[in-house]
Amino acid sequence: MAERPFIVGNWKMNGTRSMLSEARAIDRASQRLMKVEVALAPPFTLIHAVHKEVQQIGVGAQDCHSVEEGAFTGDVSASMVLDAGAKFVILGHSERRQSHGEDNALVKAKAQTALNAGLRIILCCGESEQVRDAGDAESFVIDQIRASLPEISGNAGEVLTIAYEPIWAIGTGRTPTAEDIGSMHRAIRALLVELYGEETSAAVRILYGGSVNPGNAAELLAADEVGGALVGGASLTAESFLGIVLAAADLPSDG
């Protein structure tokens, strides 16, 4: 792992101002855990409030539109979330792909717009149970990433994170083995090396997302080529989320 583990909490459609106390608690604890990079992606309505409350952790958005401005009622642009205090955006999450019909081309367009606005991107990928059972998981995920990646003119390691989230492990209580995760992350790493070269690709962290909790975090984070975690429900309270951050902090350092 070339950099500090990156632990990102995705609050999804959860959170009002009453949850700012959880963000503050996560931030204060993270100031003592500098071996880990910690971030939260609250709903749009809380980005600015969380940004104002925290000092150490990063703040991001859960989505953005594919164009910068226009007659798109209810949508939020990349420049808007940047203005609110977000420094990154999660794109291509399985819930967006499934519930909102987002395909690879749309995810790519959103990612390009986000990069152009000055945001870092966390690009999500992952396969269904049917794809995995058919033995096509790795080829499906690699093709999905290829078709979703934007053009990156600078150093990919500075702007890109990949998050692998097997769809069948999200919210189901089912979790792939460390061997399954390591195999997929190695395949993703090989793709990154192909696209960006050995040195640059080494700085692109590959997160695991899918039913990560304090009880399984240590095992999942120790899997090969896992550079952190994208955490859903377990990020909604400081107590639960910090258990995952502590597991990341306890990982042995390279060398």
Distance from C-alpha of 235 to C-alpha of 221, rounded to nearest angstrom:
16
Give residue 163's pLDDT band: very low, low, confident or very high (50, 70, 90): very high
Supply the pLDDT for residue 174.
Answer: 72
What average pLDDT does range 102-120 have in this prediction?
A: 98
CA distance 179 to 110: 32
Query: Tell me: the pLDDT tens digits for 208-242?
Result: 998 899 999 999 999 999 999 999 999 999 999 99
Classify the C-alpha dihedral 6-11-17-20 as positive or negative.
negative
- Predicted confidence at residue 1, as pLDDT, reads 44
The mean pLDDT value of the chain amounts to 95
The catalytic residues are 93, 165
pLDDT at 45: 98
